[in-house]
Amino acid sequence: MGMHEVTYEARDQRALKVCIIGASGKLGRYMVQHALDRGYEVVAVCREKSAGKLEAFEERITVLPGRTDDREVIRRAVAGCDGVLTVLVPWGVHGYSTGTAQAVLDHAPADARLVFSCGWHVARDDQDVYSLKFRAFARVFGAVARLARVVDVRDQEEACRRVFTSDTRWTVVRGSDLEEGESQGLPVWSRHVGDPILASNITRRIDFALFMVEALVDDSLVHEAPAIVGCQAPSALSAGATRQM
C-alpha cells in the first residue's frame, strides 16, 4: 500500500478539520451548515464586526475574528486543516481578494484541499466564451464600481490567477447568478463559460455552498475551475435530456 492511500485511510477515520474564510456572509453561513452536517470540525474567519452573524453556530464552531487578508489571522486559522473554503470578494480597491488568496496559498498545509469561490466573470483560459452583452455589462459595471472605489473586479481576477498558477491542491468554483431558496441538489458544471448547459445562469446559493463543501472530498476537481449552474435550471435539464438520448 502506497503512502497516499495510508493518508486517506487515516483521514477517513476522523472528522475533517475545515477552515471557512468569509464565513459570516450568505455563502459562508451555508457552507458552515453543510460542513457541520457532515460532522466536520469548523474554524471560521470573519470580520470582527460580523462575528454576531455566526451566533447560531455558537459552541459548534471556532470563530477567529479578523480581516480575511490579515496573514497572521489566516496563518492561525488554517493550521492543521484538511481543507480551506475561501469566499473571494472584490470589496474595496486595496487588493482584499488577492491578499486573502495569497495568505491562504502561503499558510495552508501543503496537502490541504483549497476551494475558492468567485463568479463566471473570472476566465480560466481562452476557451471561456462570453456574450457581447456580458462583456459590455462587465466593462461598464467594473469601471463604475472602481471609480466609486467600492469594488475592484480585477482584484478577484488577480486572486484567481495566483490560485491557478499555484502548486497547491486548489479548485476555483465559478458561480452563476444566485438566488435564495431550498436546496435542489448538487449543481452541474462545465469547464467553460459559454457551454449551453450553463445558459440559464442561475444557482441556489445553498447549492453553490454544497458544491464548495463537496469539492473538499472530490479529487477529480483538483486544478479545475468549474463554472456551475443549478441542477434543476432549464439549461441543465435539457442538456441532461440530450445526453441521455
Ligand X SMILES: NC(=O)c1ccc[n+]([C@@H]2O[C@H](COP(=O)([O-])OP(=O)(O)OC[C@H]3O[C@@H](n4cnc5c(N)ncnc54)[C@H](OP(=O)(O)O)[C@@H]3O)[C@@H](O)[C@H]2O)c1
Residue ranges with strand state E in the chain: 17-21, 41-46, 62-65, 83-87, 113-119, 169-175, 178-179, 188-190, 203-204, 227-229
Residue with smaller CB distance to ligand X, 92 or 194: 92
Among residues 16, 17, 20, 28, which is the contact residue for ligand X, using CB under 6 A?
A: 28
Residue with smaller CB distance to ligand X, 117 or 200: 117
Residue with smaller CB distance to ligand X, 59 or 180: 180
User: Which region among 19-27, 37-45, 183-191, 233-241 touches ligand X (by CB under 6 A)?
Assistant: 19-27
172 binds ligand X (CB under 6 A): no
115 binds ligand X (CB under 6 A): no
153 binds ligand X (CB under 6 A): no
CB-based contacts of 233-240 (< 8 A; 24+ apart in sequence): 233/200, 233/201, 233/202, 233/203, 234/199, 234/200, 235/196, 235/197, 235/198, 235/199, 235/200, 236/187, 236/188, 236/197, 236/200, 239/188, 239/196, 239/197, 240/188
Among residues 33, 50, 184, 232, which is the contact residue for ligand X, using CB under 6 A?
A: 50
Which residues, 6+ apart, have CB-to-CB distance to 63 below 8 Å? 23, 44, 45, 46, 51, 54
Residue with smaller CB distance to ligand X, 5 or 182: 182
Among residues 38, 47, 154, 223, which is the contact residue for ligand X, using CB under 6 A?
A: 47
226 binds ligand X (CB under 6 A): no
Residue with smaller CB distance to ligand X, 88 or 108: 88
Burial 169-207 (b: 16+ CB within 10 A, else e): bbbbbbbbebeeeeebeebbbbebbebebbbbbbbbbbb
User: Which region among 10-18, 47-55, 130-138, 218-226 touches ligand X (by CB under 6 A)?
Assistant: 47-55
Among residues 38, 53, 76, 223, which is the contact residue for ligand X, using CB under 6 A?
A: 53
Strand partners, 84: 19, 114
Q: How big is the site for ligand X, counted in residues (CB under 6 A)?
A: 23
Site for ligand X in 55-114 (CB under 6 A): 87-89, 91-92, 96
161 binds ligand X (CB under 6 A): no
Among residues 83, 119, 226, 230, which is the contact residue for ligand X, using CB under 6 A?
A: 119
Site residues for ligand X per CB under 6 A: 22, 24-28, 46-47, 50, 53, 87-89, 91-92, 96, 117-119, 175, 177-178, 205
